[in-house]
A and B are shown apart, each in its own frame.
Chain A
Amino acid sequence: MSVRTSGPSRSTTKPRPIQGTGGRTAAIFLVPFFTVFLVAMIAPVVYAVGLSLFAEQRSGLGFGGAETVFVGLGNYVDVLQNDTFIAGFARLALYCVLYVPTLLGVALGFALLLDAVVAKARRAFQLLLFLPHAVPGVIAALIWAYLYTPGVSPIVSALASGGIQIDFLSVHLVLPSMVNIAVWEWAGYNVIILFTALQSVPREVLEAARVDGAGEIRTAFSIKTPLIAPALGVALLFTVIGSLQLFTEPKILSTATTAVTSTWVPNMWAYDAAFNRNNLPQAAAASIILALLAGLLSWVVTRFTSKGNSR
């Protein structure tokens, strides 16, 4: 971890004067970003927070019209007391435990292999690995749902004729099946991140390792992997946040199996609250809870990985 690379050294280029029109130039670059950010991110969040503090109250038998009343944190209390919402987090946690190590392991393995092969083959493998990521998530989930469904899937029937009876969509296997879809979808993307980091590992360090008698495998795990720890951290961060937003795969699979309910993960719970039960305030409260958790987790992950770096 003590190896530090000095990038293109600053001292050779002339330092630019930091004065005069700097503020205005910065503004020109920043205003478009912040405008979009304000409209697309901040405004909806503020609106959702506002929405989550109110509730539609009907009275009597429910057909005399509804009035909107301020309930404070009432929606949050209701949501957090909801068993199915909480059960969604338990499933999500299990998913993360399975998915995050699998994805990063697979991606790291491929990246190291890519780094080891001759330059010509690299391009082709890189493209092949990235190809699944070019398939939109919904389409990928649909294709996999087809491949998992007994009675229509060629894979299931091939396995069955080989004497292996397996139901990928059963209660116990549906989670691993879902992890498989996500890994297929996202491995290539993470391979690119890790592979790019591997490219910047200084060659003299690798040569030194070789001179010291380390083989390819030893080099890969003892030299290269520690050196790309920051990139692994970034991949971990993206993966964890992405897992929290798990929606597409279970949503699609819920149409193919009973093992996935319409409120299977917190995001689906929020979707169901908003669009099936027409309870926008509860959906907003659920989304805010989810967003807070994502914020907290990414803080933990960045904290953890940057600490590892400075050591």
Chain B
Amino acid sequence: MNLRRTSFAAAALLSAGVLLAGCAASAAPESDKPTAAENPTGEITFWSSLSGMADVAAAFNASQDDITVTFEEIPNAANGGYTKLSAAIESGTGPDVAGIEYVSLPGFAASEQVVPIDDLVSEDVLGEYSEQVRELVTFGGATYGMPYDAPPQIMWYRQDVLDAAGVEVPTTWEEFEDAARAVKAANPSAYLTSFFMNEPQLAPLSWQAGSKWFSIEDEKWKVAIDDKASTKVADYWQKLIDEDLVKAQLGFSDEWTADLNSGVVNGWVGGSWSASGLKTRTEASGQAGKWIAAVPPSWGDEPTGALSGGTSFAITENSENQAAAAKFLEYLTTNPAAVEARGDVGTAYLAFPGLNEVASKVAPTDYFANDIYEVFDEASSHVVGGWSWGPDYDITNTAMRDAVTTAPTLGDALEQTQSATVDGLDQLGLDVSE
């Protein structure tokens, strides 16, 4: 057992070191209040898990001489990227600029690991963003990050499989169920899509159904994860799983990739960001030109939509050159050159107006059988406003993953997640109502 004990002790020592360093860092005098210098100069560091960001940093460095950006790629959230970022910021060795997804930004903002940027970026720029997107980075009246992308929830289907089953692209969830049945009937081993048990898409699906998991009422956080609309969504998917019409599995796993390639799974409840991943995963089995993007089916007569994921860029409390960091932040999120520099590694649907024209030109759109950016535009226009990720979504995230596995049904999982979230926020000392 030596190895285990040693590694345990090492981990303990390491975390203790990080903690101690954290104390030392917070005891150090705060850097001077940032001033929006006209021409900031200096060196800044930039961490992100998004692919292609190294090229963006290089393009920025080449475009001017005042600021030098050093880029470091960090793992994504599932692989401990935020763990690393958070620990680094606490110990004073964090970057100036970091990529943080909308779901995780409130946690970073609440622990003051990222700083408000209202004094650093002009309101003219911030005002360009849509109201919903701005809400996702605004907490307690301050803006904590520059939205990068605003990826709408998108359905991906194998057009040839739908054709073989004799069904059209579903426009309502009822039709979606029929389509799942038809695909199954045409080929008993095939599924229309999978339901990711590890990354349950229940949040965007509930958002799309009109639910608001977190909202502020009477100066309190109202948590409504198991409200009527969400329960309807959970019951719907539970039924599909029970009747073996969708495959409940781990998203982004080897098994899932194998299923996509072998035609066992023929769809993906994803987002606009899915396109590049879909291409890399299915290219080898000759599926070029077979996939299409579609707006999510609707619950009623009116089409509705939601955002699925999305990243913002923020300035950490470690930054000693916030003016330079802000300048880079603006380039990163609003400059067409940044989109061009990133190239075809991602299919981002960007939040800043006007950038998607550039994005649609550099993205690998020809892999797909329809004009995916046109679909993104349409899905984006349906997004229901007023969604918030609450004050600390990490609690909800952990609770939901556990609940989806352990609860007998997805509906029960929502109830468990609701109570775990309320308890967790309550323990943090927040004012919560149900």
Contacts and interface: CB of A to CB of B under 8 A. Distances in A.
Nearest to B84: A275
Interface residues of B, number: 61
Contacts of A159: none
B189 interface: no
Given A44-B16, A274-B15, A275-B80, A256 B250 contact: yes
Interface residues of A, number: 55
A278 B107 contact: yes
Contacts of A123: none
A177 interface: no
B164 interface: no
A216 interface: no
Contacts, number: 147
B253 A61 contact: no
A242 interface: yes
Interface in A134-154: 136-137, 146, 149-152
B221 interface: yes
B45 interface: no
B67 to A, nearest CB: 30
A257 B250 contact: yes
Interface in A234-251: 238-239, 241-242, 245, 248
Interface stretch (A8-16, A62-70, A93-101, A218-226): A62-70
Interface stretch (B2-10, B36-44, B266-274, B376-384): B2-10
A63 B116 CA distance: 11
Contact of A278 (B8, B111, B249): B111
A261 B250 contact: no
A281 B272 CA distance: 38
Interface in B141-173: 142
A201 interface: no
B241 to A, nearest CB: 12
Contact of A66 (B110, B250, B258): B110
Most buried by B among A41, A239, A275: A275
Contacts of A66: 110-112
B402 A61 contact: no
A61 to B, nearest CB: 6
Contacts of A164: none
B428 A62 contact: yes
Interface stretch (B291-299, B300-308, B342-350, B393-401): B393-401
Contacts of A256: 250, 253-255
Interface string B90-128: 000000000000000011011110000000000000000
A278 B430 contact: no
Contacts of A56: 111, 428-429
A265 to B, nearest CB: 12
Interface in B187-241: 197-198, 216, 219-221
Contacts of A309: none
A152 B250 CA distance: 14
B258 A152 contact: yes
B110 A58 contact: yes
Nearest to B402: A261
Interface of B: 1, 3-5, 7-9, 12-13, 15-16, 19-20, 78, 80, 82-83, 86-87, 106-107, 109-112, 139-140, 142, 197-198, 216, 219-221, 248-250, 253-255, 258-259, 262, 391-392, 394-395, 397-398, 401-402, 404-406, 424-425, 427-431
20 contacts: A40-B13, A47-B20, A58-B110, A60-B219, A61-B219, A61-B391, A62-B110, A62-B425, A63-B110, A65-B112, A149-B253, A151-B259, A245-B5, A258-B198, A258-B405, A263-B398, A275-B82, A275-B83, A275-B86, A276-B397
